[in-house]
Chains A and B, each alone.
Chain A
Amino acid sequence: MIGNDIVDLALAQKESNWQRKGFLDKIFTQKEQSLIKNAINSELMVWNLWTRKEAAYKIYNRETGIRAYIPLQLECFFETENQGTVGCNGFTYYTQTQISEEFIYTIAVTNKLHFDQINKINFETNILKKDGIPFISNTSSKLVKPVSITNHGRFWEGIVL
């Protein structure tokens, strides 16, 4: 299973005031908050960790069928700024994060080997939905593949396993 999440950094700056009182406490554990506090660029760390949680949550939601607002239960284990894991109620998800001037983009997988098997899909791809979960279906082989899509501001990313 796969999940992805992108943050348009310019839009995030407009939409969110992460320095607002109580904001970090509601969504980041103490350990994560210390990563944010000690980071060279705290704002980048906020969205780096946030995209990890969101990408991991997409898998958690699909695999368990549980829909809930649980950012504190999705705990980031930060290895480097580009990789780590997210734990949630006994599940572990692997994450890879891309950082640019304009965006932060994280892909989460249940199996590390899947990172090499993921393909990008484009905006024109015919994406179907079942119970709110997107997938694509190959008309000739009838093979169904799960997809994950994310968009924020100027950016749209879709992946398929």
Chain B
Amino acid sequence: MEKEIIIEQLKEIIKPYVQEKEAFEALTEHTDFINDLKINSANLVDVILDIEEKYDIVIDNESMERMLNVKAAIEIISTKLADKI
């Protein structure tokens, strides 16, 4: 799947948990979920569960450990989607 499409879909997923609207509007690959978007660390679990549901993938513990920014999320989603085929 195209990276741009994943970013758009990811934005939809994280939107309800974002507390920094400006950083969200200016989101790039380098945006950090916690430092920039101020997503509550307990809500990061919801982001991960929402991603699992949306793409029908399983995010293992090692992947979850890295799930702190947009770039890592895209990489993890792309890899897991490729593994499915």
Contact B68 A68 (CB under 8 A): yes
Contact of B65 among A7, A20, A70 (CB under 8 A): A70
Check A69 against B42 for contact (C-beta < 8 Å): no
Q: List A residues 19-38 near B (Cβ within 8 Å).
A: 20-23, 26-27
Contacts of B61 in A (CB 8 A): 72
Complex: chain A residue closest to B72, CB-CB? A69
**In the complex with contacts A20-B49, A22-B52, A69-B43 CB distance below 8 A:** no
Inter-subunit contact B68/A20 (CB<8 Å): no
A142 at the interface (CB under 8 A from B): no
- Residue from the list B35, B40, B44, B52 in contact with A69, Cβ < 8 A: B44
A54 within 8 Å of B (CB atoms): yes
Q: Is B64's CB under 8 angstroms from A54's CB?
A: no
Q: For chain A, give the interface size range.
A: 20 to 34
Query: Would you call the interface of chain A mostly helix, strand, loop, or mixed?
Result: loop
* Pair A16/B42 contact, Cβ less than 8 Å: yes
**CA A21 to CA B81, docked complex, whole Å:** 22
Across the interface, B40 reaches (CB within 8 A) one of A15, A20, A67, A68, namely A15
Best-buried of A26, A69, A70, A72 by chain B (most CB within 10 Å): A69
Cβ of B68: which chain A residues have Cβ within 8 Å of it? Answer: 67-69
Asked if B14 is at the interface of the complex by the 8 Å CB criterion, the answer is: no
Cα–Cα, bound, A68→B68 (Å): 7
Cβ of A65 under 8 Å from chain B: no
B54 interface residue (CB < 8 Å to A): no
User: Is B65's CB under 8 angstroms from A16's CB?
Assistant: no
Of residues 31 to 80 in B, which have CB atoms within 8 Å of A's CB atoms? 35, 40-46, 48-49, 52, 61, 64-68
